[in-house]
Amino acid sequence: MRAALRTLAASVFLWTHAPSVVAAPPSLAPTPSQKTAVPPDAGIPLWAPCGREQAERWDAASDRDGRAALLAAACHAYLVERGGGDRKSQIEDARRGRKAAGIAVGAFPGSGVAHYLSAYLAGLEADRVPWRGLGLVSVIENEALMAAERNPRLDHAGPDRMLGELYLRAPSYPISVGNRGKALSHYRRAVTLDPDFIGNRLGLAEALAENDHRAEACDELSRLPREMPPGAEERPAWEKAYSLRDRLCAPAGMR
């Protein structure tokens, strides 16, 4: 997602973090077509390995089954991020995923997963179709805000981390929604919700540095172990955190 938002910044004016939780994809059991006030979030594994055939099967059932729409959206997000397809297939997956997420939001308005996937897939589409970025920022922002309200701990505090990244990278008003103060607020909340997730702490350090709180940023970075944990997930985030610590803190003796 961080790459998606940076592409927005570089293209017109403006994410996971890489995925983390891996679980086996559940089988789709046919259910009656209906809206329900109880979202099935607990049964929708994010970033579970899935294949094209599964995605297409869930797509076909989405119009009559909100749970299938959630599974389809989650599968398309996985295929874009880790499916290994070419750019054309990634764009198609992002768009199909957004459509499925929209159906899921309609079926389960209280679902944090549905809103989060809607925001995430919008970011993935913007990453691969930069000229669409301007029109998708409001989608990313609004859907992430709703996800943060409904399920703030989802994906290691993913909704607040996504909002922090959006507000940090985007140009400020009137060009876009960039707001360093908002970025800092959302990253602080993400760290409060999941202090051990490297993406949250790295984002907070970057936001602190951008808000001229260098000493506090270095304090955050000083909490990292001196060496990357063996087999650490989010390796790019760890490497960036160490690089930022060396660049920002070592010259001033703050490391």
- Whole-Å CA distances, 247 to 123, 173, 179, 208, 217: 29, 29, 24, 14, 12
The answer to whether 97 and 76 are in contact (CB under 8 A) is yes
The answer to whether 123 and 5 are in contact (CB under 8 A) is yes
Q: What is the pLDDT of residue 53?
A: 94
- The model carries a pTM of 0.83
Amino acid at 130: P
Q: What is the pLDDT of residue 238?
A: 87
Q: What is the pLDDT of residue 4?
A: 53
Q: What is the pLDDT of residue 106?
A: 95
Three-class SS state of 21: coil
Q: What is the CA radius of gyration of the chain?
A: 18
Q: What is the pLDDT of residue 195?
A: 92
Q: What is the pLDDT of residue 234?
A: 77
Q: What is the pLDDT of residue 17?
A: 39
| pLDDT mean for each 10 residues of the chain (255 residues) | 51 38 40 58 91 96 95 97 89 96 96 97 93 88 98 97 94 87 97 94 95 93 80 80 90 56
Q: What is the pLDDT of residue 82?
A: 84
